[in-house]
C-alpha cells in the first residue's frame, strides 16, 4: 500500500502528464492529426486519474493520536474559530489536556476560518447543582493556529482550569 506522501507524488506526476497530453492534444488539433480525438480521451482519463489519486491520498490521511486522551462530544460548532466539546466530569487535568489537544487536531480543517486565524476549542462539563438545574462549567481551552498545515502537538496552547475541575470532582463524589 502506498503512503500519503507517495500518493501525492503520484498525483503530481499524473497532473504533469495531463498537462503534457493536453499540449499534445492542442498540437494534434492544430495540425489536424488523425489521432487527435483519441488524445482528448487520453488527456481526460489522465486528468481523472490525477484527481482520483489526489482524493485517495487525502482520504488516507491519519491524524496523530494523543496518548491519554479521552472521548469527547462536539457540542457547538459553526465551522468557524470557536468550538465547544463536552468531556467526562471525572477527568484528571492530564487527561483533559490530552483530550483538548486531540480535539484541536481532530476538529481543525482547511475549511475553517476566523478573524484572528486561530481555532479555540473549549471543554465543558455539566454540573447538576440541584434537581432540575444544570450548570455548564468550562474547564479548559486549547488554541491552535489555522495557518499551520501540519498537526504539531507543540503548536497547541492548552489552558486547564484546575480549580473548576476540582470543584466538579468534589460535587460528583
**Tens digit of pLDDT at every position of the chain (173 positions):** 788 888 899 999 999 999 999 999 999 999 999 999 999 999 999 999 999 999 988 877 677 788 988 999 999 888 788 899 999 888 889 999 999 999 988 888 777 777 788 889 999 998 887 888 888 899 999 998 877 666 667 778 899 998 888 888 887 76
| Phi, psi angle pair for 71, to nearest 5° | -65, 150
Please name the residue ranges forming H helices in the chain.
4-31, 36-59, 93-107, 162-172
Q: Name the residue with cell 490530552.
A: 98
Burial (CB < 10 A; 0-12, 13-18, 19+), residue 9, is middle
Measured between its terminal Cα atoms, the distance across the chain in Å is 50
pLDDT computed for residue 133 by the predictor: 87
pLDDT computed for residue 151 by the predictor: 60
Model-level pTM? 0.66
Amino acid at each position: 500500500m502506498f503512503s500519503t506522501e507517495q500518493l501525492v507524488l503520484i498525483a503530481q506526476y499524473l497532473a504533469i502528464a495531463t498537462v503534457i497530453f493536453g499540449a499534445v492534444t492542442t498540437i494534434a488539433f492544430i495540425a489536424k492529426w488523425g489521432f487527435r480525438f483519441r488524445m482528448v480521451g487520453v488527456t481526460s482519463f489522465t486528468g481523472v486519474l490525477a484527481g482520483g489519486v489526489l482524493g485517495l491520498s487525502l482520504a488516507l490521511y491519519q491524524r496523530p493520536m494523543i496518548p491519554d486522551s479521552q472521548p469527547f462530544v462536539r457540542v457547538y460548532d459553526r465551522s468557524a474559530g470557536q468550538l465547544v466539546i463536552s468531556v467526562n466530569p471525572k477527568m484528571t487535568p492530564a487527561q483533559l489536556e490530552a483530550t483538548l489537544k486531540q480535539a484541536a487536531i481532530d476538529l481543525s480543517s482547511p475549511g475553517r476560518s476566523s478573524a484572528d486565524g486561530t481555532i479555540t476549542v473549549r471543554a465543558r462539563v455539566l454540573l447538576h447543582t440541584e434537581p432540575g438545574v444544570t450548570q455548564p462549567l468550562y474547564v479548559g481551552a486549547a488554541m491552535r493556529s489555522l495557518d499551520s498545515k501540519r498537526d504539531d502537538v507543540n503548536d497547541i496552547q492548552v489552558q486547564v482550569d484546575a480549580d473548576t475541575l476540582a470543584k466538579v470532582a468534589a460535587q460528583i463524589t
